[in-house]
Amino acid sequence: MLSINGTRLMERIHALGEIGKDAEGRRTRLAASDAEKEGRDLVAGWIREADLELVVDRIGNMFGIWQTEENRLEKPLMIGSHIDTVINAGQYDGCLGVIGGIEVIKTLRDAGIRTARPVVVGAFTNEEGVRYSPDMMGSLVYAGGMAVDEALATVGTDGTVLGEELKRTGYEGTVQPGFLQPEAFVELHIEQGPIMDVENVKIGAVENLQGIHWQRVTIQGAANHAGTTPTALRADAGLAAAKVNVFLRQLVEKSGGVATVGTIRLEPNAINVIPSGAVFTVDLRNPDKAKLEADEKALAGYFNELEQSDHVKISTERLTEFDPVLFDQGIVRTIEQAAAARGLSCRRMTSGAGQDAQMLARICPTAMIFVPSIGGISHNPREYTRDEDAVAGANVFLDVVRELAGGSY
């Protein structure tokens, strides 16, 4: 049975993982940063080494294209993920899908496989959304969900403009996003959760993805002396923010979703001053659209109650709104069959994290392959997938790509 070069796969994951580390060993490759440019340069070299055509579109998405005279008029099979990271990140998230995609194509080519359609591996821009918002921006623009000029004008958390940074780092391309219309898209990824590790499952056939709603909440109260102001006479924005956090936990325990207050800032942020302001983010997720919308409606109602009970003013700003995604059942079954053929345990999964695949699902049949994350840890330096699990996932990826691309000798 044809297999990828597992040693090369892991060597490249570790090589890319070394890029973006600071003096304390914290790995950070934010979108369009100098560190990400270094990572892009390395990946671009691997794309060229595999004898693929390297193309960069206007939003900075990188593609390695394998096509022949016989199949160049066919719609391509697209694979891939991203290489940007969160702050102080692990080395597998996204990178496995990009490096694994290059390895799959190289393996097929070296074995003399001819495919009925082109195969294209992509590394999408700003998937994490740490420096620029929204997350999954490159794939969103590629799928037509956001105008490229709007995305390029996005101002980052550090005051930079995405388009200017892509140009500065040499990764502002010339072709329009969406220049290739894929026949299908498949993404290999670590689970980023504990289910596969706990259940000792080797392959996840991802059949759907949670909806994700982000908002920024601003609560305005009144600053006053922490020692002289009686509790009953306070308009404490910090207390109101804490109440929201508790309310969210109770809300999702009933609905089956998840909620996170991931960032919070108090004003004036002094130890002996009652907070006059609280600004925080709310991340609401649920695989059921109706339940997600009901949770958000309940939260809005709670804001109205809190304004009355705590004498504060509350305003909200929408940051992200992505509905749940149902992946293509035919591709999911192909993943299950490929796992079975290699004697690997497999189960159907829901992706709790946002992925580039959810954006590509807007324009073509899509699915994902998961491999285990030990302890369910991700977005953390302790993120870890065993070499044998990463290689097994890449081999299933190989078989799925060969099947969907119509590969034969």
- Residues 6 or more apart whose Cβ sits within 8 Å of residue 360: 78, 139, 142, 143, 182, 185, 187, 366
Residue with tokens 């980023």: 192
- The CA distance from 370 to 360, in Å, is 17
- Residues 6 or more apart whose Cβ sits within 8 Å of residue 388: none
CA distances in angstroms from 263 to 49, 136, 160, 279, 382, listed in the order given:
42, 19, 21, 8, 21
14 annotated as belonging to a binding site for a ligand:
no
Quick check: 191 and 376 in contact, CB under 8 A? yes
Residue type, 346: C
388 annotated as belonging to a binding site for a ligand:
no
317 annotated as belonging to a binding site for a ligand:
no
What are residue 223's phi and psi, to 5 degrees?
-70, 140
93 annotated as belonging to a binding site for a ligand:
yes
164 annotated as belonging to a binding site for a ligand:
no
Quick check: 339 and 205 in contact, CB under 8 A? yes
Q: What is the sign, positive or negative, of the torsion defined by CA atoms of 389, 395, 397, 400?
A: negative
- The CA distance from 125 to 63, in Å, is 11
User: Of 137, 117, 123, 150, which Cα lies nearest the Cα of 46?
Assistant: 123
- The CA distance from 266 to 207, in Å, is 40
Residue set of the binding site: 82, 93, 128, 189, 379
Residue set of the binding site for Zn(2+): 82, 93, 128, 189, 379
